[in-house]
Structure 1
Amino acid sequence: MPLLRNALTCSVLVVFSHIAGAAEASAPAEALRPLLATLNERLNIGDLVALTKWDSGKPIQDSPREAQVIANARTLATERQLDPEDVAQLIAAQMEANKLVQYGLLAQWQTAGVAPDTPRPDLARQIRPRLDELQTRLLRQYSDFAPYRRAPNCPALLAQARQGLTYDALHDLALTRATGELCIRAEHL
């Protein structure tokens, strides 16, 4: 009887261990999904920013605004007990990805000689407040994901989670740029 009890105990432990391992393996994916959805939402706002730049003729590059956004992100990172440099890099990647969308769309519209005839929200009063709100959400979701950045399966999970989120090659490339530094490979530790 003790032998049977020991075998049963070992079997139960193996099953629980397998369940715990599966739950642990899915944790990075569960933390990654909302983060990628927010990054993708932010990229899609790049379409609206491009329209305002088309209409105004203003350049896409806005270094003072970018510096202000990164400084704000560093402050928020400190408040959330995140590494300010990691957060600055994350936000800089988002801005670069967004500019990639804007440059791509402007090039398409210049070739066509016209931009889409869609409503243009106000950059200062409508778009930037939305981007600020997304940054707050982005930092919260990044905080949830940060413990998994060094997971060996992080790059594979990231590649899988990106699939099907975008609607064209330009936005797919931009999302790849936006997520380029989310995972940290072991040799970079």
Structure 2
Amino acid sequence: MIKPLAAILLLLSTSAFAAPTPAPAALAPLLASIQQRLAVADQVALSKWDSGKAVEDRPREHDVIVGATIMANNFKVPAELVEPFFSAQIEANKLVQYARLAEWHLQGKAPDSPRPDLAGEIRPKLDELQKALLKELADFAPYRQQALCPVWLAAANRQATQDPLRYLALTRATAPLCGAKA
């Protein structure tokens, strides 16, 4: 009886059954900035509700990606990573905006909350977040090829929120972070 128990204990103590390697420290600040950017989506949606403007703004989206691509070299982020990453940020942000606008249309009104100016307040905040995201993306880049990268992201995204919309948006925003060589 003791020998089978010892064999089981030996098996359980091997690296095959050990807890996975924890996510690198560089992931937490990157996810925090991505979440901050997603939080701004509610303010953008309020602005679009009030102005009647469309969520889709291709010229602005293009400008964001071009601006990030130009700044990428300063942060030592490979240019080929910038476009997919910032496209994902934009798409995730629009996902939140569309969902919020749909909710408000069903309710017949938007929330009574302060309305920051899109051009004067919201976009400068997004521009500052862009710099933080570039720095943090550079810090995380060495871990992108790790086999556990998708596991780290899935766990971090699940831990970040219980809100299904935020989880979906966060999953979309982090999609380009693992696997692709840059």
| Residue of 109, 113, 118 corresponding to 1:114 | 109
Percent of residue pairs identical: 52
- Asked if 2 retains the 8 angstrom alpha-carbon contact of 1:39 and 1:94, the reply is yes
Q: Where does residue 81 of structure 2 map in the other structure?
A: 86
Give yes or no for contact 1:166–1:172 (8 Å, CA) kept in 2. yes
Aligned length: 164
Structure 1 CA distance for aligned equivalents of residues 75 and 62 of structure 2: 20
CA contact (8 A) 1:40 1:166 kept: no
1:183 aligns with 2:178: yes
Q: Does 1:157 align with 2:152?
A: yes
Structure 2 residue runs without a partner (length 5+): 1-18
Q: How does 1:36-185 map to 2 (within 5 A)?
A: 36-184=31-179
For 2:60 and 2:118, locate their aligned partners in 1 and report how far apart those are by CA, in whole Å.
12
> 1:116 and 1:164 mapped to 2: Cα distance?
27
Shift of residue 84, structure 1, vs aligned partner: 1.0
Gaps spanning 5+ residues in structure 1: where? Answer: 1-21
TM-score (norm 1): 0.82
Superposed CA RMSD in Å reads 1.9
With normalisation by structure 2, the TM-score equals 0.85
1:3 corresponds to: none
Whichever of the two has the greater Rg, that structure is 1
Give the superposition deviation at 1:167.
Answer: 4.8
Q: CA deviation at 1:78?
A: 2.0
Indicate conservation of the 8 Å contact 1:49/1:127, yes or no: yes
